Structure 1
Amino acid sequence: MAHWGNQMLGIAGLAVLSSLGLFVGMLLAIEVGRRLGIRSQADEQKTDRAAAGLIDGAVFGLMGLLIAFTFSGAASRLDHRRDLVISEANAIGTAYLRLNLLPADKQSPLRDLFRQYLDARLDVFQKLPDMAAAEAGLLRANQLQSQIWPMAVEACQLSGSVPATTLLLSALNEMFDMANLRTTTSRVMHPPPVIFIMLFVLALLSSLLAGYSMGNSRDNNRFHVIGFAAIIAVTVYVILDIEYPRAGLIRVDAVDQVLMELRSSMQ
């Protein structure tokens, strides 16, 4: 958990630094390309502009395609994380309701543990980026799991009710599985770093080609140059921010309201 938390903090800063670095790098690449284009003209080198245009278009098209797929994948994973919050809330709520199948004297201790467990699960994600608090929440939730399960098994055995044993224990298993799935998804469900590296390389290469094409023109429109670099850099930042929704500006905290409402109903 500590490694995960440190990684999230690092990603939050890395997203900003990477986007700023890409912005500056694209401006430099455009300037280098423009100077190469001017030198090419000065040397009176003959170039086939139609063929060069096809190459430029292919590179720009590939960059646009990669941005589109990366953005779409990040948005899809964001929706999946929201769905997992709702699924976990449903699993906890179902297990909590099925405590009614147990003898009355066995329900109260388990209900108290359920309330503590839900509080711990809320802390795991809502306390981010406070790593110490989030790590403590995850540890407490795991400890409560190890208390809830044997207590529920014992209560089912004492009740002697087959429906209680079948329904409650299956609901508890689902509740624990959803907690593990949600935590694991937050840690590892991200695209390989090589995709982002390729995106950065294509952005710089496209800037170099754009600058080279500008060398054949006497116009030097700084507004378009800065605008192009800024749009690509901001887009990359948004992709990174969506990919790590607990670390940056784009958050999934609003969907935690489902868990908070469930916690209020457990009073």
Structure 2
Amino acid sequence: MSKIAMAAILALGLLVGILILQEVGRRLGERHLARDPESARAGTGVVEGAVFALVGLLIAFTFSGAASRFDQRRDLIVQETNAIGTAYLRLDLLPGDARSALQEDFRRYIDARLDAYRQLPDIQAALAGLTKATALQNRIWTQVVSAGQRPDAAPDAIKLLLPALNDMIDITTTRTLAAQMHPPLGIYLMLVALALASALLAGYSMAGGRSRNWLHMVVFAVVMAMTVYIIIDIEFPRLGMIRVDAFDQALVELRATMT
């Protein structure tokens, strides 16, 4: 089961759980009011305020972190495009026969990188694509070192090409690690636990009315569930609704120029 499917199930379960706990809190509040109406709400405002403030703080923290990592992943796609483009242009420093072979390898390399990310959410297929791209990296590096040492190569070919290739290779590791960078599971569990606790307290504060305020109960549950789902969706920008796929167009356009 994909992480986004799990997030949808979690959000649905949270929605139902919040509705149930609001009803439980309301009944507890009504029971307490019937038994001791004068002190039933004494001090509850302080506790409710503290819990809701903590929920808001945790939501802001997780959402801000997810949005920051989302932007970072988009920026890394642009950085990789620039690194590949720079290395490709510097192939002109090599002899003609070596340059042609390397240009073909660069085209295959970009295709492999694009295909790997298009395979998601099939993790195994994506890893196979990344492995193919890594093999092409090694092949390109070896060929550049060999071609750059030839007497008919430009004098500074090695000095200019190897740093560019190094940047091109390094950015792939950075992108892979960035895709695996997420908050600890405990953060999400705490967020869910606090959302359920706040639902219980919200239900308790609704006690005393003649009828249930379904509008407030449903809206509160829906907003909390959707917030948790969106946060998780942003954390996995190639699996859900919010995606970074559009930025792959930069690599596609670079590939189109390599004719």
> For the superposition of Structure 1 and Structure 2, which TM-score range results when normalised by the shorter chain?
over 0.9
TM-score (norm 1): 0.93
Conserved 8 A contact 2:78-2:247: yes
Secondary structure of residue in 2 paired with 1:158 = coil
Does 2:245 correspond to 1:245? Answer: no
**Residues 134-213 of structure 1 mapped to structure 2, 5 A cutoff:** 134-159=126-151, 161-187=154-180, 189-213=181-205
Conserved 8 A contact 1:123-1:133: no
Ranges in structure 1 where 5+ consecutive residues have no aligned partner: 1-8
Shift of 1:150: 0.8
Superposition misfits of 4+ residues, deviation over 6 angstroms: none
User: Aligned residue for 2:71?
Assistant: 79
Conserved 8 A contact 1:156-1:165: yes
TM-score (norm 2): 0.95
Aligned residues with identical type, % of pairs = 55
Ranges in structure 2 where 5+ consecutive residues have no aligned partner: none
Can you list the C-alpha shifts for 1:59-89, whole angstroms capped at 9, x where unaligned?
1111011111211111111110000000000
- Could you say if the C-alpha distance between residues 162 and 219 of structure 1 is closer, same or farther in structure 2, counting changes exceeding 3 Å? farther
Matched residues in 2 for 1:259 and 1:226: separation? Answer: 44
Task: Tell me which of 114, 123, 138 is aligned to 1:122.
Answer: 114
Conserved 8 A contact 1:110-1:151: yes
Shift of 1:10: 2.6
Task: Tell me which of 46, 50, 68 is aligned to 1:54.
Answer: 46
**Which one-letter code corresponds to 2:237 in the other structure?**
P
Matched residues in 2 for 1:48 and 1:211: separation? Answer: 14
Task: Tell me which of 36, 40, 46 is aligned to 2:32.
Answer: 40
Secondary structure of residue in 2 paired with 1:73 = helix
User: Aligned residue for 1:67?
Assistant: 59
Shift of 1:157: 1.1
Conserved 8 A contact 2:29-2:40: no
**Which one-letter code corresponds to 2:168 in the other structure?**
M
Matched residues in 1 for 2:2 and 2:37: separation? Answer: 47
**Which one-letter code corresponds to 1:93 in the other structure?**
G
Q: Which has the higher helix share?
A: 1
Can you list the C-alpha shifts for 1:134-191, whole angstroms capped at 9, x where unaligned?
233112101111211111100111146442111101100100000111112112x111
Matched residues in 2 for 1:31 and 1:180: separation? Answer: 50
Matched residues in 2 for 1:151 and 1:38: separation? Answer: 78
Shift of 1:104: 1.4
**Number of matched residues?**
258
Can you list the C-alpha shifts for 1:221-243, whole angstroms capped at 9, x where unaligned?
11210111001100110000001
